[in-house]
Structure 1
Amino acid sequence: METHIYDEKNGLSYTLHGDYYLPDLVLNEEEPIYGKYGMLRKQFLKEHRLAKYQYLLLTGKLTEHLNQIDQESREQVEMLMEQMAEKQGVTEELKVQNRTKWVRLMNNIKASAEEMVLKEILYI
């Protein structure tokens, strides 16, 4: 029996181990650099989109996907926060004059921006 075979139907090569041919699988994942949003996306995929999660995991694209989602989410949150702060008149001048009010408004803006990103990017 051959020790190595290649199946053209699925594009996988196999190696003989004892009486069984096992696929030669190699993970080519990039370095995980994702943060909060990547972890939330991963948890969502595990709980609600298991087939997609398993596909990404088995094809070695999960880390790439999570890194991309995390980066997009962070950029979107920052952009939304800037727009919302400008629209609500939250400025550096307000920060100097009334720090407590500025912190309260910025926390509210951040929570709103994150909620929008969670619904539009992460939980789909």
Structure 2
Amino acid sequence: MDKYIYDASNGLWYELQGDYYIPCLTLPAEKENKPISLWGQRHKHYLQEHKRTVYISLLTSGKLNNYLADIDEQATEMMFRLVEQMADKEGVTEQLKVENPMLWVGRMNEIQARAREIVYADIIYK
């Protein structure tokens, strides 16, 4: 038996694996490979666990990396914007940082935690 055969009706090559011919399939290459940081990785994990069909569709179409990079960028921008707005609204300023650094750190940690939860709810786990 031949190691490889070609089926003209569907345009696929098949490779002999034991007693069966298995299609030789590859994923399409993405045009550019953008870096994906924390937010993109978390959304990827969410898709793998809870939205399997969306994940597989993006993966097989070659659009997963661009999609995750876009989500990552949106989440990062939203996080910075929310932290800045909340800090301004609550009076957490550079003056407070100079006068009472421990209070400033505590309040900024609280603000970041709240902003993180909003980003999770609005972008990552949606």
TM-score, normalized by the shorter chain, greater than 0.5:
yes
Measured in 2, the distance between the counterparts of 1:6 and 1:95 equals 71
Aligned to 2:23: 22
Q: Contact conserved, 2:6 with 2:13, CA < 8 A, in 1?
A: yes
1:31 deviates by 1.7
1:60 deviates by 1.0
Aligned to 1:44: 46
Measured in 2, the distance between the counterparts of 1:6 and 1:63 equals 32
Measured in 1, the distance between the counterparts of 2:14 and 2:89 equals 65
Q: How does 1:40-119 map to 2 (within 5 A)?
A: 40-119=42-121
User: What SS does the aligned partner of 2:29 have?
Assistant: coil
- Deviation string 1:44-100 (CA, Å, 9 cap, x unpaired) is 001110010111111111111111111110000000000000000010000000000
Measured in 2, the distance between the counterparts of 1:103 and 1:38 equals 27
What RMSD, in angstroms, separates the aligned Cα atoms of the two structures? Answer: 2.1
User: What SS does the aligned partner of 2:35 have?
Assistant: coil
Q: Contact conserved, 1:14 with 1:21, CA < 8 A, in 2?
A: no
Unaligned 5+ residue runs, structure 2? none
- Deviation string 1:28-51 (CA, Å, 9 cap, x unpaired) is 223241111111101100111001
User: What SS does the aligned partner of 2:69 have?
Assistant: helix
Larger CA deviation: 19-28 vs 92-101: 19-28
Between the two proteins, the alignment pairs up a number of residues equal to 118
User: What SS does the aligned partner of 2:106 have?
Assistant: helix
Q: Contact conserved, 1:4 with 1:14, CA < 8 A, in 2?
A: yes
Aligned to 1:10: none
Give the fraction of aligned pairs with identical amino acids, expressed as a percent.
36
